[in-house]
Amino acid sequence: MLVAADKFKGSLTAVQVAERVTAGLRHVVPGLEVETLPVADGGDGTVAAAVAAGFERREVRVTGPLGAPVTAAYALRDGTAVVEMAEASGLQLLPEGVFAPLTSTTYGSGELLRAALDAGARTIVFGVGGSATTDGGAGMLAALGARFLDKDGEPVGPGGGGLRDLATADLSGLDARFADVELVLASDVDNPLTGPKGAPAVYGPQKGASPEDVAELDAALAHFASVLAGSTGSRATELAESPGAGAAGGIGYGALVALGAGFRPGIEVMLDVLGFGPALSRATLVITGEGSLDEQTLHGKAPAGVAAAARAAGVEVVAVCGRLALQPEALGRAGIRRAYPLLELEPDPARCMAEAGPLLERQAANIARDFLS
């Protein structure tokens, strides 16, 4: 039995999900051998999943999205670091109700990457998602030695809004160690940098951007790419259209164009890093899940990745979730035999989230009765 589920956002971490599912299974089958492997798709919770899999947690003080210091963590094992941009530049770091769509910065994400280099990492999995920022990764690159100057030779202001004043991009001072490091951009989205499917249009509103802000940010990021193309060549323009460039407010673009990153779907990367393959080979049934099983799940989210890998290995998969918005046919196409939503037991959403732990144990017990008895 293998439990490989993501977090239930707002109620349970991936580690807590695994604990509750295990407890529910053993309530019906005492002594059941259960292997747990909390998973993540590159977004928030990625470092926690790595730590649960045996990586060492490292903490460092960095610059938060609003410019104030925050404590951020990354994970390290045997020369491989897992760095989660949300730890330094995530929405969860903003005070409740406070947004700064034009000025929030990824500077701390660059400091976090530098800390991983300082710790001796030779491979860095850079999980991007859950950002408070839309600066194209300019702040990150500035922390790593790049200079972004206005027409007077002064540094532009923080955030995507500052990029409208960009006149010169100087990447000559970037940390040279990236030339010898494998940097993997791990994301569950494949948006380009700008345009109707770009970072500002698709993700700006959830970061507090008004329609006017979205238009300003889109123009600023397009200008950023144009200035970079002027200093580094046409590849900067091409990469703005590539999958993952628009991830996490465009930080994917900064990593691709200036740090030599390679893009891979986040869940694929994380399953490799966490050792999912060996765990799967020992399993006869896999339980995966996340807070909401919906159309987004089918496009690169953790449960879909787990189910695809398990189906390829001939191992049956069931899922737990808070909310289920997929028909059985769609679940079947994804490789999921059956889903067990918590709302089935407690239809009130607020109460369901508040009591997610005990409800999850009850559904896990139902899985044990249906599949193990």
pLDDT at 299: 84
3-state secondary structure of 334: helix
Give the range of the structural domain holding residue 64, as residue numbers without chain letter. Answer: 46-267
Quick one: pLDDT at residue 167?
Answer: 97
Is the pLDDT at 373 greater than 90? The verdict is no
Residues 80 and 163 in one domain: yes
Cα–Cα distances in Å, from 260 out to 107, 178, 253, 288?
Answer: 18, 7, 10, 33
Given pLDDT bands bounded at 50, 70 and 90, which one contains residue 343?
very high
**Residues 14 and 79 grouped into a single domain:** no
Cα atoms in the Cβ-side hemisphere of radius 13 Å centred on 371 = 23
Same domain, 144 and 206: yes
Q: What is the mean pLDDT of residues 67-73?
A: 98
Structure confidence by residue, pLDDT tens digits, 256-298: 999 999 999 999 999 999 999 999 999 999 999 999 999 989 8
Domain count, the chain: 2
Contact 239, 257 (CB under 8 A): yes
- Is residue 318 one of the residues assigned to a domain? yes
Same domain for 288 and 198: no
pLDDT at 165 over 90: yes
Instruction: Tell whether 339 and 210 lie within a shared domain.
Output: no
Query: Residue 42 pLDDT > 90, yes or no?
Result: no
- Note the pLDDT of residue 43: 84
Which tokens hold the place of 164?
Answer: 């409208």
pLDDT, tens digit (0-9, with 9 covering 90-100), for 123-154: 999 999 899 999 999 999 999 999 999 999 99
Same domain, 63 and 197: yes
Domain harbouring 289, CATH code: 3.40.50.10350
For residue 63, is it within any domain?
Answer: yes
pLDDT higher than 90, residue 44: no
Cα angle 145, 146, 150 (rounded to 5 degrees) comes to 135
Q: Convert the pLDDT of each residue in 3-25 to its tens digit.
A: 999 999 889 999 999 999 999 99
Q: Note the pLDDT of residue 296.
A: 87
